[in-house]
Amino acid sequence: MTEAMKNLLITVLLFISAPSFLSAQGRGRAQVAEGNRQYDGGNYEQAIEAYNKARSANPASAEVDYNLGNALYQKKDYEQALKRYETALQKSEDPRLRAQTYYNMGNTLFRMNKLKESAAAYQQALRLDPGDEDAKYNLEYVRARLQQEEQQQQDKDQQKKKIEPSEYAKKLRKQAQKLIEEYRYAEALKLMQDGLKTDETVAAYQSFIDRLNDVVEIEEMQ
C-alpha cells in the first residue's frame, strides 16, 4: 500500500436537489429542506427527525431515504443507515443517485468491518459512475486491506500448524546431534527416522532430518 493510501475517504455525499422529489407536488419538501439545513449544521439528530417526517409525507421518495441514511451514518448508526440506502436503491432508477448510494454503502460497510461487501458496493458505484475517483481510491484501499487480512490469517493458520516437539523428540534431537559430532551421520538419520515412526512431533525437526539425509546421500556417493 502506498504512503498516500493511509486513510479511506470516508465522506458521504448529501443529495440535496432531487428532481423526482421536487416534482412530487411539494409533499415533504419543507421537511427535507429543514433536514438538509440541520445536516449541514452538524445537527444530525434533528436532521433525522426532519427526514423521518419527510418520509411520512412522501414515502415513495428514494432521495429522502438516501439523506436519512446519511444522517444515520453520521450518528454512527450504521445498521440503520445501510437499511435506508438499500431502500433508496429499491425506489430509485436514477443512475446518479444509485451511484452515490452505492458509494455511501461502501463507506458504511467498511465501518461495519464488512470489507468484501464494501468492495462490492464500490464496484457497483463505479459501474454507474466510472469517473468517480473517490470510489476508485476506496476500492483499491479496501482490496489492499483484504489482502493484508488474508495474509495475516494465513500466517495464523501456519502458526497453528507449527508442530511443537515433545520431550522425547527433543531428547532424540540431542542424541542425533551427538552422533553427528562423532561423524556417525547414517546412525543419526536412522535414529530420527525411527523416532518419527514412534512420535509424530519429531516432524518438528523435519528440516534437520532432510539436511541429514542429504549428508548421508553424499557420503554414500563417495
Taking the C-alpha atoms of residue 221 and residue 137, their distance in angstroms, rounded to an integer, is 60
Q: Which domain holds residue 142?
A: 3-158
Report the CATH number that the domain containing residue 109 is assigned in CATH.
1.25.40.10
Those residues whose C-beta lies under 8 Å from the C-beta of residue 21, and which sit 6 or more positions away, are 28, 29, 32, 58, 61, 63, 64
Domain identity same for 133 and 175:
no
Q: Are residues 73 and 147 in the same domain?
A: yes
* Residue 197 confidence (pLDDT): 94
Instruction: Provide CB contacts within 8 A for 179, sequence distance 6+.
Output: 185, 187, 188, 191
pLDDT digits (tens, 9 = 90+) for 9-60: 544 444 433 323 433 445 788 999 999 999 989 999 999 999 999 999 999 9
Do 7 and 61 belong to one domain? yes
In terms of DSSP H, where are the helices of 75-94? 78-91
Say which residue the cell 497453528 belongs to.
Answer: 160
Here the cell at position 151 is 495474509
Mean predicted confidence (pLDDT) in 104-124: 93
| Number of structural domains in the chain | 2
Joined together, the cell numbers standing for residue 150 give 488474508
Residues 99 and 181 occupy one common structural domain: no
How much is the mean pLDDT over the chain?
Answer: 85
Q: What is the pLDDT of residues 185-201, one digit of tens each?
A: 899 999 999 999 999 99
93: CB partners within 8 A, 6+ apart: none
The mean per-residue pLDDT over the stretch 152-168 comes to 80
Q: Tell me, what's the pLDDT at 144? A: 86
Same domain, 13 and 118: yes
